[in-house]
Amino acid sequence: MLSVPGLDNRYLQQGNNLLRKMSQLQRIAIAPSQLQQGQILLTKEQQHYLRRVLRLREGDRFIAMDGKGKWWLAQLAGEQARVLEALLVETELPVSITLMVALPKGNGFDEVVRCCTELGVTCIAPVLSDRTLLHPSPQKLERWRRIAAEAAEQSERSFVPTILEPVTFNTAVTANQTIHSYICEARGEYPHLKKVLNSISDEIVIATGPEGGWTTQEIENAIAFGFQPVSLGRRILRAVTAPVVALSLITAACEV
Amino acid sequence: MLSVPGLDNRYLQQGNNLLRKMSQLQRIAIAPSQLQQGQILLTKEQQHYLRRVLRLREGDRFIAMDGKGKWWLAQLAGEQARVLEALLVETELPVSITLMVALPKGNGFDEVVRCCTELGVTCIAPVLSDRTLLHPSPQKLERWRRIAAEAAEQSERSFVPTILEPVTFNTAVTANQTIHSYICEARGEYPHLKKVLNSISDEIVIATGPEGGWTTQEIENAIAFGFQPVSLGRRILRAVTAPVVALSLITAACEV
């Protein structure tokens, strides 16, 4: 799955610890033009995302991907990142997919994490919406990360998706905006998600709602931050089904 | 959701029993040319499917759909079916989708029935493959049908999908072939399902495998009966995830 140029296969097979550690690294999407002479020039938003959202510190390593299938192991250094090596990755999608999910009741989120990891999600952001009933304990976050690690291995992925700490929907909306940000809404006459997927280049953020749907204010707030409302079809999907359906469509569109 | 021309809305609201009964009817896809002067001329395959697979008897009612959004309530009469009335349907897909699923272990099939009903499946055919461990009791079938009825109501569908009795995969393959029959296979270099979906007109059959995948012989047998092997992406999906992913792609492609 993961092959690092410069290391021979024997080393790779013996180096399970190295691989396991690398597979847990966080990922961000960069534009090819950001890579200059072995350095990645990070945007203000990327610096914020790496340090504040992903909680990386100076010298920490992460994966940069250019949305065209190129991957680099990089190390955070001030406003830049040093490229340590190029990576060869075969079972990962060429784009960064962030899924924002309003936490469903009960243990429903376990299955969302499992399915979406199998499908190839990059980052899952659990959010507390106005209609969210669940307020998860810190143990839940550990549990979801363990499920993601297991599912990544079972589905033969090279990397484990990042599971962010739960925040309110409005906080998540400001932290996760990108050119391609979508919010799924069952009611209303919005275009089907399939119709907007042709234009995805390097990263996409998609949000799915809680039981009972988003409030009007949440939708309006998301739109104000550049999210485009989309439909997943004419039938009403449960809060645990919608993320899997959205991810199915996105990953199929991105699969090379 | 379901509105029957010739009955006013007040009648419809009061006629819950009539509606509930209608929502349980089986469906088949017909070509527009089969409809002549209020009669549907059934093909040999359709007669076999209605009488042997769906177990309908003379005089029983079913729904005929032309794949272009037109629906009729019909009554089985010999080699034909009498058209009783035209139906107006808004939350159903214009095509007939049959999902053949190798029964997963445990209670995993419950969630498959629930999700795929929400997505809009027409008929679910549980199958026993060479690697299927579960041999379900008759109570299971009743349970799945109850789940389908609940999920159809929750997702605001007009019809409840048909859940067939479990049969061996080889039996199901011979009973469910159509021009657009696909079998999902994780290993091997098969085209992605998304690449074959443009051509769907009126009906599609899709099969997803058990834990451990189909045997080579099962794949070969399916191919011999006109099934085309397809991929759902480069990552390995669980037996309970694959049907939901396949249905997500198919229903999105068929949604008008």
Report how far apart, in Å, the C-alpha atoms of A156 and of each of A14, A93, A152, B246 are.
18, 13, 6, 19
Instruction: Answer whether residue B7 shows pLDDT above 50.
Output: no
Domains of chain B: 2-89 (2.40.240.20), 96-254 (3.40.1280.10)
- Could you give the percent of chain A with pLDDT greater than 90? 64
pLDDT of residue A59: 96
Which region holds residue A67: left if phi is over 0, alpha if psi is between -120 and 50, else beta?
left
Cβ-based neighbour number of residue A142 at 10 Å: 11
Six-digit token string for A183: 């919010």
Q: Which one of B90, B190, B193, B245 would you mutate to disrupt binding with A, by most A Cβ within 10 Å of its Cβ?
A: B245
Q: Closest partner residue to A238 among B118, B253, B255, by Cβ?
A: B118
* Residue from the list B90, B233, B255 with its beta carbon closest to the beta carbon of A192: B255
Phi, psi of A38 (to 5 degrees): 75, 5
Report how far residue A153's alpha carbon sits from residue A195's, in angstroms, rounded to the nearest whole number: 32
pLDDT digits (tens, 9 = 90+) for B163-217: 999 999 999 998 877 889 999 999 888 999 999 998 787 899 999 999 889 999 9
Task: Please name the amino acid found at residue A10.
Answer: R
pLDDT in tens, A26-60: 888 898 899 999 999 999 999 999 998 889 999 99
Query: Per-residue pLDDT tens for A125-182?
Result: 999 999 887 788 889 999 999 999 999 989 988 889 999 999 999 999 988 778 899 9
For chain A, what's the residue count?
Answer: 256
Task: Judge whether A48 and A99 are in contact, CB under 8 Å.
Answer: no
Please check whether residue A24 is in contact with residue A160, taking contact to mean a CB–CB distance below 8 angstroms.
Answer: yes
Residue B18 has a pLDDT of 45
Residue A52, amino acid: R
Q: Rounded to whole angstroms, what are the CA distances from B149 to B117, B162, B234, B247? A: 9, 9, 34, 18
Query: CA-CA distance, A89 to A85, in Å (whole number)?
Result: 13
Position B8 scores a pLDDT of 35
DSSP state of B244: H
pLDDT in the model for residue B110 = 97
Confidence of residue A13 (pLDDT cuts 50, 70, 90): very low
A50-91 pLDDT, tens digit each: 998 889 999 999 999 887 778 899 999 999 999 999 988 888
Backbone torsions φ then ψ of A252, nearest 5 degrees: -65, -40
What is the overall mean pLDDT for chain B?
87
B interface mutation test: which of A156, A235, A255 has the most B CBs within 10 A?
A235
Specify the pLDDT at position A165.
Answer: 93
Which single residue is written with the structure tokens 């053949």?
B100
d(CA B29, CA A52): 54
CA distance B164 to A110: 30
Taking CA atoms, what residue in B is nearest to A116? Answer: B241
Contact B244 A249 (CB under 8 A): no
Q: Which amino acid is at A147?
A: I
Burial A173-187 (b: 16+ CB within 10 A, else e): bebbebebbbbbbbe
pLDDT value for A188: 84
Find the helix packing angle between A138-154 and A108-119, rounded to 10°: 30
Global ipTM:
0.82
Predicted confidence at residue A21, as pLDDT, reads: 52
pLDDT above 90 (res B222) = yes
pLDDT at A241: 97
pLDDT for the residue B6 = 35
